[in-house]
Amino acid sequence: MKEQDKQRKKLILLNPGPVNLSARVKNALLHTDICHREVEFSQLQKIIRFALLKVYGLSPEDYASVLLTGSGTLAIEAMLTSFVSDHTKLLILSNGVYGERIQKMAEYHRLTHTVLRQLWGEELDSQRIESVLFEDKSITHIAVVHHETTTGRLNDLSMLGELCRKYKKELLVDAVSSFGAEELRFKEWNIAACAASANKCLHGAPGVSFVIAKKGYLRDSRVYSPRSVYMDLCEYYQKQEAGTTPFTAAVPAFFAFGEALAELEEEGGWRARKEHYERLAFLIRQRLKKIGIRQYLTQGLLSSSLTAFYLPGDITYQELHDRLRQKQFVIYAGQGEISQTIFRIANMGNLTEDEIENLLVELEAIVCKR
Ligand SMILES: *Cc1c(COP(=O)(O)O)cnc(C)c1O
pLDDT at 219: 73
Question: Can you give the pLDDT at residue 217?
Answer: 86
Centroid of ligand 1 to alpha carbon of 299 (angstroms): 24
Q: Has residue 314 got a pLDDT over 90? A: no
In what side-by-side order are the strands of the sheet with 332-333?
306-310, 342-346, 332-333
Ligand 1 contacts CB of residue 145 (under 6 A): yes
Q: 136-190 pLDDT, tens per residue?
A: 999 999 999 999 999 999 999 999 999 999 999 999 999 999 999 999 999 999 9
**How many other C-beta atoms lie within 10 A of the C-beta of residue 35?**
11
d(CA 153, CA 117): 15
Residues 6+ apart with CB under 8 A from 192: 83, 141, 170, 171, 172, 213, 214, 217
Q: What is the pLDDT of residues 211-270, one digit of tens each?
A: 999 998 887 665 567 889 999 999 999 999 999 999 999 999 999 999 999 999 999 999
Ligand 1 midpoint to CA 195 (Å) = 10
98 lines ligand 1 (CB under 6 A): yes
For residue 218, what pLDDT is reported?
87
Give the pTM. Answer: 0.96
Indicate if ligand 1 lies below 6 Å from the C-beta of 152: no
Tell whether ligand 1 has an atom less than 6 A from the beta carbon of residue 65.
Answer: no
* CA angle centred on 277, ends 275 and 281, rounded to 5°: 120
Say if ligand 1 is within 6 A of residue 176 CB.
yes
Average per-residue pLDDT for the chain: 95
Q: Ligand 1 pocket test: pick from 79, 104, 174 the residue with the most ligand atoms within 8 Å of its Cβ.
A: 174
Q: What pLDDT band is residue 347 in, cutting at 50, 70 and 90? A: very high
* Atom of ligand 1 at shortest range from CA of 146: 13
Minimal-distance CA residue to ligand 1 atom 6: 72
Percent of the chain exceeding pLDDT 90 equals 90
Q: Comparing C-alpha atoms, which of 187, 176, 235, 180 is closest to residue 62?
A: 187
